[in-house]
Amino acid sequence: MTTTTTMQVAKERQLDWLLEEVLGARRGAAVRTPPRAIPWLAAAVALFAVGAALGVAWLRAADERSMAQEPDQTIPWHGCHGAGGIDEVPADVSALRCFDFDDAACARLAAKASALPRLTHLDLSGMDVDARGVSRSLPITDAGVRALAPFTGLRWLSLEQCHQMKGEGLQVLEAMPRLEHLDLTYSGVTSPALERLDRLPSLRTLVLSHCMDFHGRSLAAVARLPGLRRLELQACTTARPLPRTRGRLAHDACELRHGSTCATARVASAGRPQAASRPVAKSRRRRPCRTASASPTPSSQPSRRCRSRRCCSAAASR
């Protein structure tokens, strides 16, 4: 406000005072009170809150979308066919898909770990086909998995189709603090190995589909994984968890957002779905069941997402 303007305002107020005093005004308040800004402030706060809620919801949805069930197709995968192809792996590779690997090839690849500092995605599930067009079984065992210990920067690891891998070698994963995705589909992972997985604090996705060598009680250890958001147990027909395990799953795995359990074992005596066939969290993107008769009954699905421990307790008690 300029000096002239303020002086004009001062003169107006002087005249107001003089007129009121001379004419004997019965009312006061020469200065007009401006409209209260509090409603606007409340509206701004409400708008900000709505925006924040929408932003958080969008981020959570984006986070779910970003959790890769399959290898991210946008990542430039480099293929390595057999032990002979290891020498051709470029030094700046970040995602490596290996075909026809065995323990020796794993050890040879691990020997080159220092030369692959950017490697974060490793897929050992690739299988070449023979002359008859039949895929060869992967001969990777726990020794081969143990050989992966130098890759401490891995975030994504697939050991799919490693039938001979029983899980003892998975201890080396404890030296990979950034590991977020572990695919053990069609592996021979056993209960003791699963019960050690709770030492992987960063693990967010665990795929145990078609694993038939572990007991359902091991899922209690899986439920203790602090950041687990996706658990796939499709066709784990030997997983027969105890009712107590079901409660632990529901109680501990509060971050779990997706559980896929089609064709998983049931308890025949009680006629109720097992814990493994009863996802602890609402599965919003569940894959279609291959065996319709083995799919979980609709009544076994929790009606809401499990977000808080209190909510989980309620879900466990249901």
The region of 3-11, 84-92, 98-106, 228-236 touching other proteins under the rule CB under 8 A is 3-11
Nearer to other proteins, 29 or 270 (CB): 29
DSSP string, the chain: --HHHHHHHHHHHHHHHHHHHHHT-S----SPPPPPSHHHHHHHHHHHHHHHHHHHHHHHHHHHHHS-SS--TTS-EEEEESGGGGGGS-TT-SEEEEES--HHHHHHHHHTGGG-TT--EEEEEE--B-TTSPBPPP---HHHHHTTTT-TT-SEEE-TT-TT--SGGGGGGGG-TT--EEE-TT----HHHHTTGGG-TT--EEE-TT--SS-GGGHHHHHT-TT--EEE-TT-TT----HHHHHHHHHH-TT--EEE-TT--B-TTT-SB-STTS-SS--SSPPPPSSGGGSPPGGGS-SS---SHHHHHHHHH-
Kindly state whether residue 28 participates in binding other proteins, applying the rule CB under 8 A.
Answer: yes
Q: Which of 27, 65, 132, 284 binds other proteins (CB under 8 A)?
A: 27
- Would you say 23 or 62 has its CB closer to other proteins? 23
SS (H, E, C) 177-204: CCCCEEECCCCCCCHHHHCCHHHCCCCC
Complex with other proteins: residue 22 or 270, whichever CB lies closer: 22
CA 142 – CA 74 distance, rounded (Å): 30
Determine if 37 is a binding residue for other proteins (CB under 8 A).
yes
Which listed residue (26, 65, 132, 284) binds other proteins by CB under 8 A? 26
Member of 18, 46, 59, 104 binding other proteins (CB under 8 A): 18
Nearer to other proteins, 8 or 135 (CB): 8
> x/- string (CB under 8 A) for other proteins, residues 85-114?
------------------------------
How far is 223 from 195, CA to CA, in rounded Å? 10
Per CB under 8 A, contacts with other proteins among 147-166 are none
Nearer to other proteins, 22 or 62 (CB): 22
Report the nearest approach of other proteins to the CB of residue 47 (Å): 20
Closest to other proteins by CB, 15 or 49: 15
Q: Is residue 35 close enough to count as binding other proteins by CB under 8 A?
A: no
Decide: is 6 part of the binding site for other proteins (CB under 8 A).
yes
39 binds other proteins (CB under 8 A): no
Nearer to other proteins, 12 or 88 (CB): 12
Residue 262 in contact with residue 290, Cβ under 8 Å? yes
Min dist. Cβ of residue 19 to other proteins (A): 5
Scanning 2-10, 148-156, 257-265, 268-276 for contacts with other proteins by CB under 8 A, the matching segment is 2-10
Query: Closest Cα to residue 316, out of 267, 306, 194?
Result: 306
Strand partners, 273: 266
Stretch that binds other proteins, among 16-24, 112-120, 181-189, 224-232 (CB under 8 A): 16-24
Told to check if 129 binds other proteins by CB under 8 A, we report no
Q: How far is the CB of 33 from other proteins (least distance, A)?
A: 9
Number of residues that bind other proteins (CB under 8 A): 28
Chain contacts with other proteins (rule: CB under 8 A): 1, 3, 6-7, 9-15, 17-31, 34, 37
